[in-house]
Chains A and B, each alone.
Chain A
Amino acid sequence: MRSLTLLRSIGALAAGLLLVSVLGGCAVFNKSNRRTLNLLDKHVQFESTTAKIAAAPVFVPVGTVVLATDAAVVNPVAVLPKTADDVYQLYWKPRDMDFFRKALFFPFCVVLTPPTFAGDWILRILFIGNDND
């Protein structure tokens, strides 16, 4: 029973550490991937510490919702052109190839485009954002 509890604790700790490392690479940690939040930051500024503390009960939930919106909606939409460009560069960019080779590669490009797009999109949503690399 005790060993089970110990194992559970170790498991919880490992899961916690994994979560931290995943979040560490999260795209929204990069300022350029928090468009809505940056907009709010620009307009919501308080001079006095009292005002900051007083407004916190409102802006902690608001900020959390906006951050989630950035991560779940805005950023995924914003990275779509870049993702499409990645796929284009990889499979569809005109290359110095003769007709035979083009015809040979064509079905592979067609088949691989959707999974590559999906993979790249998820990667950009979670970690890379709109950066080039």
Chain B
Amino acid sequence: MIRSQVFRMLSLRFTASLFLLAVTLLPPALFSGCACFNKDNVPTLNFVEKHLVPESTTSQVIASPVVFPIGLVALGVDIAIVHPAMVIPDAASDTKDALWDDLDWDKMYVTECAALPWRTFVTPVVFTGDFLGRAFFDIPGKAEQIRGKEKYAGDLAKAGGLVKEGKYAEDLAKAGKLVEEGKYSEAQKTLKEIRMDSLPDKEQQEMMFLELKVQCLTGDYESVSGYYLQDLLKSDRKQEVFAFLETCRKSDQPMVRWTACQALLAAYEQETEKLRNVFRELMAEQDTVLRAMGLRFVGERSRVYTALLPDLKRVAEEDGNPTNRALAAHIVEQLGK
């Protein structure tokens, strides 16, 4: 009887202890998982992997009864000791940046004096919070940030090198030729392959211009007013871009004309005379739908196109299509408010 009671008590205690242990260890273990997934945060495990784990899969399976527990211990050491120790300098640096930088004892002496007790009081709290965050989660430290910048610089250099080697230059030339031949979808495919942020400026502009050409020549007016156009109009190729768009305006295909007009309406936002010219010519189009698209485009940005008010009034009175007249009248009314 007594034995069974003791046994029950012991088993209850054991279960309670296990539960408490699990409750205590589970959250840190889960969170630590985030940090320990990054190879940079588990140097002991990396060491074990490098020196104790055999290369071939068969050997790995054979060695697993020995290597696996060692790996687990190494991981535990990394999570509990090494990684937390590694993040201390970053946590200290963060705390310093947040609380102890930019102190102005010359011009704000009394304020700094008043803030001193608060800073002192808050420092351990900020440090602890930052330390725990960095210990549990994979937050890049200053060293990683520097490494990231170096990698980006490396990517840029690599892109530059590839251009020098002629890789992008060849692809761009190929895309340019495809555009000239009217093989737009193939040109787009080639451009898609070479599109990357780290392309040097000149090549980036060439790529953007080719994309714009494809968009205009295929009448892809929905893509044309994107940031490529704005970037190109700020670049050295501005004149070339305008010349190309003006050529497109004389195209015999209505959608190409509209695409170019839309681009020019966006480009001439600040140049009243040119803007009005483009709009007038657009409103002189035979195609009712084109005129309607132009009115819709202007209507959606009516606040930008206040300079077009006299022309819109004329369209509202003289356009051959009643819907377009109503549309123009509506925009005039909006502008009048």
Listed in ascending order, the chain A residues whose CB lies under 8 Å from chain B are: 3, 6, 13, 16-17, 19-20, 23, 34, 37-38, 40-41, 44-46, 52, 55-56, 59-60, 62-64, 66-67
Contacts and interface: CB of A to CB of B under 8 A. Distances in A.
Interface string B117-140: 110001001101100000000000
A46 B125 contact: no
Given A60-B117, A64-B114, A67-B114, A41 B122 contact: no
The 5 closest A-B pairs by CB, nearest first: A63-B114, A63-B113, A59-B113, A67-B114, A16-B125
B109 A41 contact: yes
Contact of A41 (B20, B110, B116): B110
Interface stretch (B29-37, B66-74, B100-108, B323-331): B100-108
Interface in B289-335: none
Given A45-B109, A63-B113, 5 more contacts: A3-B20, A16-B125, A23-B118, A41-B110, A63-B112
Contact of B110 (A17, A19, A63): A63
A23 B113 CA distance: 17
A16 B127 CA distance: 11
Given A3-B20, A41-B107, A56 B122 contact: no
Contacts of B64: none
Contacts of B122: 20, 23
Q: Report the interface size class on chain B.
A: 20 to 34
A20 B114 contact: no
B24 interface: yes
B18 to A, nearest CB: 13
Contacts of B20: 3
Contact of A66 (B110, B125, B129): B110
A111 B5 CA distance: 67
Contacts of B108: 41
Contact of A46 (B109, B117, B126): B109
B111 interface: yes
Nearest to A21: B129
Interface of A is mostly: helix
Interface of B: 20, 24, 105-118, 122, 125-126, 128-129
Contacts of A44: 109-110
A69 B32 CA distance: 44
A51 B125 CA distance: 31
A52 B116 contact: no
B296 to A, nearest CB: 30
Interface of B is mostly: helix
A62 B110 contact: yes
A98 B125 CA distance: 57
A64 to B, nearest CB: 5
A45 B113 CA distance: 12
B212 to A, nearest CB: 39
Contacts of B109: 41, 44-46, 52, 55, 59
6 contacts: A19-B125, A20-B126, A34-B111, A44-B110, A45-B109, A63-B111
A59 B109 CA distance: 8
Contacts of A64: 113-114, 117
Contacts of B129: 13, 16-17, 20
A37 B125 contact: no
Given A16-B125, A20-B126, A60-B117, A37 B111 contact: yes
A6 B27 CA distance: 14
A32 B243 CA distance: 53
A45 B114 contact: no
Nearest to B112: A63
Given A3-B20, A52-B105, A64-B117, A59 B125 contact: no
B170 to A, nearest CB: 53
A34 B112 CA distance: 12
B114 to A, nearest CB: 3
Q: Which of A13, A41, A45 has the most CB of B within 10 A?
A: A41
